[in-house]
Structure 1
Amino acid sequence: MVLTRTDENELLTALYGGVAEAEPWRLFAWRLLARTEADLCHVCLRPSAGISWQSVAQALDRGAPSDLLAPAPPREPMRPGRVYSGTELGESTLWARHMRVIAGEAGELSLSLFRAQGDFSASDSALLASLAPHLVIALRTWSQLERERARATLTGQELAVFGGGWLLLDAQARLLDCDGESAALVARGRIMGRAADGRLRLLLPEAEALLGGMIAETGTPEPRAGWLWHDPPMQMLVMPLPERPGWLFAMARYLIRVRSLARPAPARAHILSDLYRLTPSEAKFAARMAGGASIAEAAKALDLTVETARNYSKRVYGKTGAHGQADLVRLLLDGVGGALPGREGDPL
């Protein structure tokens, strides 16, 4: 069966548009329900082999019995792209049609239609079969978007932990995109903001002057660095961008890298113990020192004598290879131990 123009407008637009929705393919499920006069439409996916099937979209007709449930079909025996009736798969309580598609590393998707009364027609089965290649494309697109979302989330988390951020600007300094932390700064409007015309505004006069000077330069300016803010201390590096493929980079002309100089909270003691094979007591002492406490202050906080604390410091320096407290602070906070913020009450 060839999809009609109405099917393309109603079903395919919802199917392809659904990959970007918070609840993927919900509208597609409702439209397919109406198109086939089904009582229940159920879309499930399995991201990869070994992971259980997950329900991602379901549509239940208002006139259907309220207790109508969608039994999970035995999907493994189903050949990809083939439409199965419920009786072929051993179902006896409902009239149903099932189809499974596989999109390689993107995973698998199953589509099921149910009726409480009256079986589906051959044209309904043909419609599902015609949708199979489109479901594969939609699943691959969704998988790629999910992968990119995950990468962006992880990148944003890493930037936040280490006090960094980025902003993309066009030739007129209009803000095109930025990471989550920078977006929060723009929204608060204390360090940077956004003008009515979309232009990025830096509230520190010297930072605004630096950016304006680069925008005004002819040719390709050199990267420039300066202070974005002083309290908390934040620096910025403004870099011209070479032309790159992609619609976003076609407009982007400048990249601003932001670096916060405020140190993250010290790592928790058990992380230091894992990294440097410190005893629990040594790890607690090292965490105090990494937080800026003196030997005497750490001793008081941990109920140690000053002499015992000095012995701890020698053992900690020996195990970590640090040469003094300043080197210990740098070593502990610049490593992965500094990437796990302390909880309230830490560094105990």
Structure 2
Amino acid sequence: MGDGPEARQPRADLWPAFLALLARRTGASAATIAIERNGRRTEIWSIGQPPAPVPSDLAQLRRSRVYSQLDLPGQPPGPGFLRVLKWPMEPGEYGVAAIQRLDRDFRAIDAVKLSELLPFLPQALTSWRRIAQERVRAECDRFLAGRLATGWALFSAGGQVLDLSDSAQRLIAEAEGIRLGPEGRLQFRDIEAERRFQGAIAEAGSVSGSPSLIRISESPLLHMVVTSTMLAGSPTPLGLLRGERMARGVPVHEVARAFNLTRSEALLALLLADGFTLGDAAQELGWTIQTARSCSKQVYARLNVHSQADVVRLIHQSAIWFA
């Protein structure tokens, strides 16, 4: 299922290693596992050259029977010697394992070793797929949280950090008013913020606790809402962090392409979305105020808006942050 330490690397896939072990145990020179749903191959793993062939039509194979190259229905014998096993998975879905030798035929005990995997392969493949899907979902959540400057942290009843997201760790590391101490506790520069945090933790630990908003850092701006979630049947303090998102961090060429702007117009739009006045934006870009005013009119026309507030709303509500 890929649950060992070696599988926690990005995009780890242990099925080739499993096939190599299967080939050693059965004396095969090549091995293949494939999954087919409604006649279409969805996953396939192979080791050895040439890869052990998989029958093109699994529907003709009986479940749980080990076939040789001589009795595969509808398939002429190919080069070498083959053993094939098919099993059902989800509705309309089948798995198949094939091992191949080129020099001599398999022994009867080798076919038995293959068939003995039958109770375990469907479960392992189904669990592997679910774990892989959960990892993809978690990676998507991490990406979105990072781009939106959000994160979470779980706390003990005493305020010690039990777990936190990667994005929360980055937000805390970048904030000037807080840091994560060696004992796993948040250390605040502002005594009042620390007092409010401890009070919010105590409130979240009770069943009737209500969320509390804490301003943690001014530079960059960082807020935390402390609420509670259920962990192992008990209310557990949960901190939800929201950092400062600067539109200037979005690639200018992506903004220009998304909103059909020139590069200069995109630069000005991003500054306006960050709250710059036209005078401040002109100074930042090295323009005259007349140039900034003329460009802003072009930006409003291209974006079909009428004011800087409209630009702020459009940029911050768009999906350009994920570009």
Same fold per TM (> 0.5)? Answer: yes
Q: Say how many residue pairs are matched.
A: 306
1:112 aligns with 2:92: no
Q: Any residues of structure 2 matched to 1:125-274 within 5 Å, and which?
A: 125-184=111-170, 191-193=178-180, 195-196=182-183, 199-206=184-191, 207-216=193-202, 219-220=206-207, 221-241=209-229, 243=230, 249-250=232-233, 253-264=236-247, 265-266=249-250, 268=252, 271=255, 274=258
Q: Secondary structure at the match of 2:240?
A: strand
2:57 aligned partner: 76
Supply the distance in 1 between the matched residues of 2:119 and 2:37 (Cα, whole angstroms): 17
Structure 2 distance, partners of 1:330, 1:294, is 15
Question: Normalising by structure 1, what TM-score?
Answer: 0.69
1:31 to partner: Cα distance:
4.0
SS in structure 2 at match of 1:119: coil
Q: Deviations over 1:217-263 (max 9, x none)?
A: 5734322111233322211111022x3xxxx5546601110100242
Query: 2:13 matched to which residue of 1?
Result: 23
Q: Unaligned regions of 5+ residues in structure 2, if any? A: none
Aligned partners of 2:133, 2:69: CA distance in 1, in Å? 34
Contact 2:30–2:101 (CA<8 Å) still a contact in 1? Answer: yes
Greater percentage in strand: 2
- Please state whether the residue corresponding to 1:291 is helix, strand or coil: helix
1:8 equivalent in structure 2: none
Identity, % of aligned positions: 23
Structure 2 SS opposite 1:132: coil
Letter aligned with residue 235 of structure 1: H
Query: Matches of 2:56 and 2:220 in 1, distance apart?
Result: 57
TM-score by structure 2 length?
A: 0.73
Residue 98 of structure 1 corresponds to 84
Q: Which secondary structure state, in structure 2, belongs to the residue aligned with residue 110 of structure 1? A: strand
CA deviations over 1:40-73 (Å, ceiling 9, x no partner): 4333456886566432x64x6xxxxxxx532433
SS of residue paired to 2:55: coil
Q: More displaced, 122-131 or 232-241? A: 122-131
3-state SS of 2:82 partner: strand
Query: Which residue does 1:345 correspond to in 2?
Result: none
Shift of 1:26: 4.6
User: Structure 2 counterpart of 1:259, which letter?
Assistant: R
